[in-house]
Structure 1
């Protein structure tokens, strides 16, 4: 019997990405950002126009700074236990320009944990023609047959739950702290609560 598939987001679920990003921005560009001010829409966060944002984004991708992100406490031990009964896969919205950096980081911090790595391609649209680059994360979860998604962004959890994929809304971040949960969603504030969720389910 094949294992159920759990899809796991990377940024701010496995890696301390927002903190790493603002630290890089503050060092390189002299910004004074905090994690509470982080926004995935970088131009709005920096208050820059499209062209200037593109220049900074290119510099970020060239720097491979994502390879220096710290992993979140407790994640490895919980996932190592879950991997005994589930097939764990990565579903990330990261740009494909940092795919190699991402794979190297995962191998360093989560060796042997994940069976597959899927890039949803949200930020790659217009650059690639393959089907994977056109899928939302919820659509990707359905396509790969995932039964559950662990993600910090409400939009992905809401869409996945609506599509019939159970969703754990992860973390206590500005962008998800006050979100109203919909049917099929459960809030988990850290990896200890993820562990408790599965223990409570008898899984």
Structure 2
């Protein structure tokens, strides 16, 4: 049985705090990963949204280009790619497409459909892709998706440790992701009507 998987990029395939060193240099701060308690980076840095947006406008290519992949992401994505239908679904703006594609290639990730929404709202795209499982790091996205009936694997980060609702399962790494997807696949196979 093959599933339709939607995979976020930032904080899910990439390390969650890849932007931190550059932001600390730019804003002359010394925030550590454990201090990143919310997703909105300007709040974490205690700067205005406009100041953070200016930093991002100047440095987005460096930030996305130099991001480190999470451990086992490449290995697990290839295993999943051999069995399932996968789409990358990211809030990144379409202008970042070339940099994103180059990063995925450079780090050996399988080439799959890439949907760049320019928005954190992912429910409509998940519906369009008939998503079975969504792998995500942003808590608010996970809740929206789960409330819309999607199964979500929430990649653990310091900024998403909030109460989980039905439909969301916390995972700590890509090996966990693979294990959970296999478990969900087996459950779906058992529920599927037996065809003689």
The TM-score, its normalising length taken from structure 1, stands at: 0.81
- In structure 1, how many angstroms separate the alpha carbons of the residues matched to 2:48 and 2:143? 30
- In structure 1, how many angstroms separate the alpha carbons of the residues matched to 2:49 and 2:11? 25
Contact in 2 for aligned 1:64/1:101 (Cα 8 Å): no
Q: CA deviation at 1:107?
A: 1.4
- In structure 1, how many angstroms separate the alpha carbons of the residues matched to 2:44 and 2:158? 13
* Runs of 4+ displaced beyond 6 Å: none
Q: 1:164 to 1:110 in 2, by over 3 A?
A: farther
Q: CA deviation at 1:99?
A: 2.1
Residues 65-123 of structure 1: CA deviation (Å, up to 9, x unaligned):
21111111111111111111101111111133322111110111134x24201112117
Q: 1:50 to 1:149 in 2, by over 3 A?
A: closer
Q: 1:17 to 1:29 in 2, by over 3 A?
A: same
- In structure 1, how many angstroms separate the alpha carbons of the residues matched to 2:64 and 2:90? 13
Q: Which residue number in structure 2 is paired with residue 37 of structure 1?
A: 35
- In structure 1, how many angstroms separate the alpha carbons of the residues matched to 2:148 and 2:108? 29
Higher relative contact order (CA 8 A, sep 6+): 2
Q: 1:29 to 1:139 in 2, by over 3 A?
A: same
- In structure 1, how many angstroms separate the alpha carbons of the residues matched to 2:128 and 2:185? 26
Contact in 2 for aligned 1:64/1:98 (Cα 8 Å): no
Residues 142-170 of structure 1: CA deviation (Å, up to 9, x unaligned):
12211110001121111112212211111
- In structure 1, how many angstroms separate the alpha carbons of the residues matched to 2:183 and 2:49? 47
Q: How does 1:17-28 map to 2 (within 5 A)?
A: 17-18=16-17, 20-28=18-26
Q: CA deviation at 1:202?
A: 5.2
**1:187 pairs with 158, 170, 174, which one?**
170
Matched, 1:120 2:126: no
- In structure 1, how many angstroms separate the alpha carbons of the residues matched to 2:50 and 2:175? 42
**1:156 pairs with 112, 118, 141, which one?**
141
The TM-score, its normalising length taken from structure 2, stands at: 0.84
Structure 2, gaps ≥5 residues long:
187-196
Q: How does 1:94-113 map to 2 (within 5 A)?
A: 94-111=92-109, 113=110
- In structure 1, how many angstroms separate the alpha carbons of the residues matched to 2:31 and 2:86? 33
Q: CA deviation at 1:50?
A: 4.3
Contact in 2 for aligned 1:161/1:167 (Cα 8 Å): yes
- In structure 2, how many angstroms separate the alpha carbons of the residues matched to 1:151 and 1:183? 15
Q: CA RMSD in A?
A: 2.1
